[in-house]
Amino acid sequence: MSASEHLLVGRFYSLAREGERFAALRVGSDGRVAGTYPEGAPLPPDLPRRELPAGTAACVPAFVDSHAHFLTKAAMGSLVKTLSRLEDGRVLPDCLDGVRDLLAEAARERPRGPVIGYGLAPAVLAERRLPSASELDSWIPGRPVIVLSFDGHSSSYSTAALRILGLESQAREGVLSGEAHEFNMDKVMAYAMKGLSPSALARGLSRTVREAAGAGLAAVDCMEGFGNERREPGTEILAQIGGRLPLRLRLWLQYTRPQLVGRYVHRMARPRAGGCLHWEMDGSISSRSAALDRPYRDRDHAGKLYRSPEEAYALAKPFHEAGYQLSAHAIGPRGIESILSAYERLLRESGGPIRERRHRIDHFEFPRPDQVERAGRLGLVLPVQPGFAWIDARFHKSYPEALDDQTFARFTPLKSMLQAGAVPALSTDAPVQPFDPFLQIAGAVEHPVASESLTVYEALRAYSSAGAYGAFEEDDRGTLETGKHADFVPLDRDPFETPRAEIFKIRTLGTWRGGRPLDPPPEDLAGFLIRTLTAPRRKV
């Protein structure tokens, strides 16, 4: 018997079958579940026991965030000032004067280089908008200032920033939205990243791994890459060291040139392409750029389609034919139609088992009923964020201003997705939302359209086994069964005994991988490099 084999005693829900739970797991020397013990079964007396965290009420399979911008989140801790916070049930600041004060504070903290603020929620401001170039110029004279909205789909700039980035002709009063914002983010991020030192990047990566581990995440699908014409240092670094981090990172490249994506394939567990930015079919609701069927309630338009069905087909075709798994951002029904019809056409032309490709439509926020059925027939993986509406209903309150009742009734129809045969996979779109799985699970079980709510069991599976399935890892991860990796998250409450209205209060007590606590790398550069460069390398 290996000295590293051990026993874990607690309440473990397998999520392989509804209601199935065990009183203990035996973890083998390889970190996989070697045996399970139902309640009342005798436990082996000769196995050493490893204690779970104090206060553990139940354990479930570790979570998978199926859509996040990991490098952006890691860099932001060192580069940017957060421009929104939750305080006493309100989102602050609630006026532009408060934004000004936070940006001024950021300018004092970083006396040189650009001043960058992220996470501004215009819907909660009295002025209901981003600051203009003239306002930013007067607040912080002479400095390049960049302000990014919380959803990452609009931004504003001081005159100095516009000049440096070459965006003067595209900005209206210093504000970019829609395609003008999306397709210039490579310039913005390249400029911002110049101020990121190796030590700052190491610190940001370590903190992001630590935050993810604290939230119960064992794996993250990372949507990376901003430009299309060159290799980017950040993406290069993540491709090289991502497989050495204790968190399981899966790299998705957002480049549209197959030859550029192809440079990274040898480091990837399987070829993947797509995500956001140049793979976006439309924008977002809060920026009024998602392509809807009906006009926005407070606008005289229904949003703009970034890519037609023919353009989406032309974008996806070379990747599909080369065997890539594909992902594309689509929120409104017209955006969804572009990529959905492209997938249908490609799969029809290529033949073979349709469901085996596991292509994705990310967000899939306001589909028509026929689009849900068609996504099910294709077996699409649908990374969704039901926490958006849950948070919005309590804090931002922007959906009712933007959408009529008929449109909102289509919001992320989770139950319909499952019934159609699609695979909804919960995610955060971090840094848009925090790594807090129970915000998304609360959004799933307290869905604004009651008939589309998931059960607690279904919601937990959508954050674990669905993410494993989306990465072709369902034989190894996603449920707690003999032979699979002993990856789980201890919880301070039993989710199956918690009232639905209190699901969001459940706290994770870390992430366990292979039957042991996940240990993030040190934050200092030397310690970070020693840990990562000596760790076994996996593919991302």
Rounded mean pLDDT of 104-123? 92
Rounded mean pLDDT of 374-388? 97
Q: Give the span between the Cα atoms of 363 and 181, in whole angstroms.
A: 19
Q: What is the pLDDT of residues 266-284, one digit of tens each?
A: 999 999 999 999 999 999 9
Q: What is the pLDDT of residues 44-88, one digit of tens each?
A: 999 999 999 999 999 999 999 999 999 999 988 778 899 998 887
pLDDT at 161 over 60: yes
Handedness of CA 131, 133, 139, 145 (dihedral sign): positive
Strand 115-120 relative to strand 81-82, pairing: parallel
Give the per-residue pLDDT at 376. 98
CB 155 within 8 Å of CB 147: yes
Q: What is the CA radius of gyration of the chain?
A: 23
Cβ neighbours for 188, distance < 8 A, ≥ 6 positions apart: 146, 155, 165
Q: Give the span between the Cα atoms of 97 and 93, in whole angstroms.
A: 8
Which pLDDT band holds residue 1 (cuts at 50, 70, 90)? very low
Structure tokens of 536? 């076994």
- DSSP result, 346-365: HHHHH-S-SGGG--EEEE--
Share of the chain above pLDDT 70, in %: 99
Which pLDDT band holds residue 185 (cuts at 50, 70, 90)? confident
- DSSP result, 114-177: -EEEEEE-GGGSTT-SPPPHHHHHHHSTTS-EEEEETTSSEEEE-HHHHHHHT-TTT-BTTEEE
Share of the chain above pLDDT 90, in %: 85
Give the per-residue pLDDT at 58. 98
pLDDT at 152 over 80: yes
Q: Give the span between the Cα atoms of 423 and 519, in whole angstroms.
A: 31
Which pLDDT band holds residue 360 (cuts at 50, 70, 90)? very high
Give the per-residue pLDDT at 230. 66
Give the per-residue pLDDT at 76. 81
What phi, psi does 466 have (nearest 5°)?
-65, -40
Which pLDDT band holds residue 229 (cuts at 50, 70, 90)? low
Structure tokens of 38? 């139902």
With CA atoms as reference, report the closest residue to 282 among 344, 366, 224. 366
Rounded mean pLDDT of 504-526? 96
Give the per-residue pLDDT at 2. 46
Q: What is the mean pLDDT of the chain?
A: 94
Strand 154-157 relative to strand 175-177, pairing: antiparallel
Strand 154-157 relative to strand 145-149, pairing: antiparallel
Q: What is the pLDDT of residues 433-457, one digit of tens each?
A: 999 999 999 999 999 999 999 999 9
Q: How far is CA 351 from CA 72, 265, 348, 382, in A?
A: 37, 24, 5, 22
Give the per-residue pLDDT at 79. 84
Which pLDDT band holds residue 353 (cuts at 50, 70, 90)? confident
Give the per-residue pLDDT at 213. 97
3-state secondary structure of 199: helix
Give the per-residue pLDDT at 294. 97
Rounded mean pLDDT of 17-41? 97
CB 314 within 8 Å of CB 355: no
> The domain at 81-193 falls in which architecture?
Roll (3.10)
Q: Give the span between the Cα atoms of 150 and 483, in whole angstroms.
A: 41
Give the per-residue pLDDT at 283. 95
The angle subtended at Cα 444 by Cα 330 and Cα 297, nearest 5°, is 50
Rounded mean pLDDT of 176-196? 86
CB 286 within 8 Å of CB 298: no
Handedness of CA 175, 180, 186, 191 (dihedral sign): negative
pLDDT at 33 over 80: yes
pLDDT at 472 over 90: yes
CB 218 within 8 Å of CB 64: yes
CB 219 within 8 Å of CB 252: no
- DSSP result, 48-110: -B-PPPTT--EEEEPEEEEEE-HHHHHHHHHH-EE--EEETTEEE--SHHHHHHHHHHHHHH-
Within 10 Å of residue 362's Cβ, how many Cβ atoms? 30
Rounded mean pLDDT of 192-201? 86
pLDDT at 339 over 60: yes
